[in-house]
Amino acid sequence: MRLRNLKNKEEIMKNSKVLIENPEDFCGNWANVFGNSFPIHVEIGTGKGKFIESMAKCNPEINFIGIERYDSVIARALEKVDTIPNLRFIRMDAFLIDTIFNHEISRIYLNFSDPWPKVRHHKRRLTSEVFLQKYDGIFVGDGEILQKTDNQDLFLFSLCSLSQHGYHFSEISLDLTKEAVKNLATTEYEMRFVEQGYPIYFLHAHKSKR
């Protein structure tokens, strides 16, 4: 994916009321950021924010946090997103996710993540053992992961990796365009892939707290 530079990205990020600049300062205290004890859902790789903005507006009883590593991408999300009480954004590398949350996240969304196709890069996949171990430390109670992808190899990898890490599946779809998942918004990529006729793979995985 080619990233187009946004010239005024620094100004947009500086003036945003929903961007958290020092997320590590709130590790273990995200309930205070939102001012309530509602469940917290995280989208890793939030892109331009269409999915998480829709989810936040439709689910005011849930707090949402979008994580994106690229300045220009998250700035585009911030310039379009209204000030929504139950929505925040963080600009950071997902590899550091266990440094900003401590047993306080209920659900993770992985929407059209980088598939990292080369075998030597598989550990960078967001459903690799490396990341699943990190998620163990941020989930509160039973953890949930919902994944959408157009990449079959990544999807099969995720099914195996999640199973080996103790997850079970409540939903699996080999073509989400032919099925309906309740209360789940679409993404920019999803709309594009559907228009091009590509199948969308989906899974909803759960891991019970022991």
The catalytic residue positions are: 114
Q: Greatest CA separation found in the chain?
A: 48
Cβ atoms 65, 40 nearer than 8 A: yes
- Alpha helices by DSSP H, listed for 94-210, are 129-136, 152-164, 188-195
Residue with tokens 């020092």: 22
Q: Which of 137, 29, 142 is nearest to 88 (CA)?
A: 29
| Distance separating alpha carbons of residues 112 and 6, to the nearest angstrom | 22
Strand partners of residue 42: 65, 108
What distance in Å separates the CA atoms of residue 188 and residue 49, rounded to the nearest whole number? 9
